[in-house]
Amino acid sequence: MDAIQLSVFASRIAAVCDEMGAMLRRAALSPNIKDRLDFSCAVFDAQGELCAQAAHIPVHLGSMAYAMAGIIGRLEWRHGDMVIVNDPFLGGTHLPDVTLIAPVFSATRLVGFVANRAHHADIGASTPGSMPISQRLDEEGVIIPPSYLIRGGALDEALLDSIVSATGNAGQSRGDFAAQISANRIGGTRLSGLVDGMGAAQFEQSVGLLNDYAERLATRALSEIPGGDYRFEDVMDDDGLGHQDIPIRARLSVKAGAVEVDFAGTATQVAGNINCPLSVAAAAVYYVFRCLMPRHTPACAGSFRRIRLQAPEGSLVNARRPAAVAAGNVETSTRIVDVIMGALAQALPERIPAASHGSMNNVAMGARHVGHAWDYYETLGGGMGAGPRGGGLSALQTHMTNTLNTPVESLEMHYPLRIRRYQVRRGSGGEGLKRGGDGLVREFEFLQVTSVTLLTERRGHAPWGLNGGGAGMPGVNRLDGEILPAKISFTARPGQRLSIETPGGGAWGLSRPAK
């Protein structure tokens, strides 16, 4: 296979993921999936190694790449099977992210898998939005170990009923699962067509060549990092249960085009829900180093072969069951990115940007009124950190999330909410030679009694600048003008207003002196 043929093959297998995503978006019912695009799609080989992924959500895709081999090795696979899982300690991220996996056969030969992961705003937690201030995993919703949702083409109606009956809107939940099933079916059909067209043996050989090519590109990119040990530390604001300034420490050991990341010294797992499984930590690490690789590097397992990960078991970034993890996937993963980038900035000061807003600014709310249960979940953007090549962008999602906002029109159509303000938070970016991006302000007015949960970060510790640049402004949460904690659950009355002011990004470089 020459370079052109390999490039065509890479594009064809990536197109399978893109079509799966298009199907999932079109068929889903919930605004969180169809409007915010909170889902990801990927293709894996017969051993569970990543072959291709769409440009979806890094925390979904990196964690699947890390954990898929362990999932598929637990099960026996037949034509027509589809497995469902959301258990964070068995390859998931947090309970709202539900993954469906389907095998692909050529005749009787298993040649690969298609998978998609989608965030369900209601997965049966005790609070609407299924992102509670929790202390145990079982408080966060329905736990689904790897289970056959479809076996030999037959849907397990009892299993599906047990999942959707735990939600407040079973019809919408069932519709979203149907969309995920459809996405895997179209992905399986397209991948099967690709394999049959070139032959199973040639397909497997091509996957191997693609991984080898990706590894060469990755090795070359990692070789540009000067050899040595680089350390950095940052902290989580709190865990929502009274524990504050929780450290994440990392040491990067770089040698001969390979990197080992060691989280020794990171805090032990905490009572609150900012813990994360090792697969989530791996996703954050993979993401940062993938950003250093050329744009055309294939999104496959070969990209990550030269990256090794160590984390103490029972730590914040490698928690043990039954630790609560709802916010670990969204908040701790984001802070891990900051820590790895902070370490890399010592090695590559002319390439690494300052810290971005550092929080997904999670807003979960809803109600359980008789005949009108609803769940809303959204992550909000903020300021991007500036870099040596330019200032940070404003009011957008960064790093481990790649979702959109919920459009105001969709939000007000589906929920008893009104958006009073949605604007850039001017002046919140750090000051410097290259200015940090500004955060945003989103203000909700409640039209009925509503249960609300906020899981936010960078309210106590500002996003840092680099090379003398100033920090971005921390975020602020307010209810009717009164400042709220970073992580809180409360009941809002009709007419009350919740304002989320997200952090700005850090600046890069000292400002030029005035003439």
What mean pLDDT comes out for the span 319-330? 96
From 416, 404, 359, 412, select the one nearest 378 (Cα to Cα): 404
| Rounded percentage of the chain residues whose pLDDT exceeds 70 | 99
Residue 276 is predicted with a pLDDT of: 95
Q: Contact 450/489 with Cβ under 8 angstroms?
A: no
**Which ranges of 134-248 does DSSP label H, i.e. alpha helix?**
157-164, 170-198, 200-223
Element (H, E) at 373: strand 372-378
The residue written with tokens 């925390």 in the block is 59
Structure tokens at 90: 């068995």
Residue 431 is predicted with a pLDDT of: 97
Q: Contact 98/180 with Cβ under 8 angstroms?
A: yes
Q: Please state, as a whole number, how many other Cβ atoms lie within 10 Å of the Cβ of residue 226.
A: 10
* Adjacent-strand bridge partners of 454: 363, 488
Instruction: Give residues with Cβ within 8 angstroms of 426, minimum separation 6.
Output: 438
pLDDT category of residue 515 using cuts at 50, 70 and 90: low
What mean pLDDT comes out for the span 192-218? 96
Q: Which residues of 113-152 are buried (b: 16+ CB within 10 A; e: fewer)?
A: bbbbbbbbbbbbbebbbbbbbbbebebbbbbbebebbbee
Give the angle 472-475-476 at the CA atoms, nearest 5°: 145
Q: Which residues of 11-47 are buried (b: 16+ CB within 10 A; e: fewer)?
A: ebbbebbbbbbebbbebbbbbbbbbbbbbbbbbbbbe
Cα pseudo-dihedral 4, 5, 9, 12, rounded to 10: 70
Q: How much is the mean pLDDT over the chain?
A: 95
| Rounded percentage of the chain residues whose pLDDT exceeds 90 | 90
**Concatenated DSSP letters of 221-285:** HHHTSPSEEEEEEEEEEE-SSS-EEEEEEEEEEEETTEEEEE-TTPPBP-SSTT---HHHHHHHH
- In one letter, which amino acid is 189? T
pLDDT category of residue 432 using cuts at 50, 70 and 90: very high
Render pLDDT for 128-171 as a digit per residue (tens, 0 to 9).
999 999 999 999 999 999 999 999 999 999 999 999 999 999 99
Distance CA 471, CA 427 (A): 12
Render pLDDT for 455-502 as a digit per residue (tens, 0 to 9).
999 999 999 999 999 999 999 999 999 999 999 999 999 999 999 999
Four-residue CA torsion sign, 208, 210, 216, 220:
negative
Does the structure show a pLDDT above 90 at 54?
no
Find out whether the peptide bond into 322 is cis, omega within 30 degrees of 0.
yes
The residue written with tokens 């990197």 in the block is 259
| Residue 301 backbone dihedrals phi, psi, to 5 degrees | -60, -30
Four-residue CA torsion sign, 485, 246, 465, 380:
negative
Does the structure show a pLDDT above 80 at 56?
no
Q: Contact 422/406 with Cβ under 8 angstroms?
A: no
Instruction: Give residues with Cβ within 8 angstroms of 239, minimum separation 6.
Output: 246, 270, 271, 272, 273, 274, 487
Q: Contact 419/443 with Cβ under 8 angstroms?
A: yes
**Concatenated DSSP letters of 82-132:** EEEE--GGGT-SSTTEEEEEEEEEETTEEEEEEEEEEE-S-SS-SSTTS--
Does the structure show a pLDDT above 70 at 18?
yes
Does the structure show a pLDDT above 60 at 514?
no
Residue 404 is predicted with a pLDDT of: 85
Distance CA 216, CA 210 (A): 10
What mean pLDDT comes out for the span 2-14? 93
More confident site: 510 or 54: 510
pLDDT category of residue 503 using cuts at 50, 70 and 90: very high
Distance CA 54, CA 102 (A): 17
Distance CA 264, CA 270 (A): 16
Instruction: Give residues with Cβ within 8 angstroms of 437, minimum separation 6.
Output: 356, 357, 382, 383, 384, 385, 386, 391, 392, 393, 394, 395, 396, 429, 472, 504, 505
Render pLDDT for 334-368 as a digit per residue (tens, 0 to 9).
999 999 999 999 999 999 999 999 999 999 999 98
Q: Are strands 258-262 and 307-310 parallel, antiparallel or unpaired?
A: parallel
What mean pLDDT comes out for the span 445-450? 97
Render pLDDT for 72-106 as a digit per residue (tens, 0 to 9).
888 999 999 999 999 999 888 999 999 999 999 99
Per-domain residue ranges of the chain: 3-215, 353-515
Does this model's pTM top 0.85? My answer is yes
**Concatenated DSSP letters of 56-70:** --HHHHHHHHHHHHH
Q: Is 152 helix (H, G, I), strand (E, B) or coil?
A: coil
Does the structure show a pLDDT above 90 at 236?
yes
Q: Contact 462/471 with Cβ under 8 angstroms?
A: yes
From 169, 175, 183, 177, select the one nearest 42 (Cα to Cα): 183
Give the angle 331-335-336 at the CA atoms, nearest 5°: 115
Biggest alpha carbon distance in the chain? 75
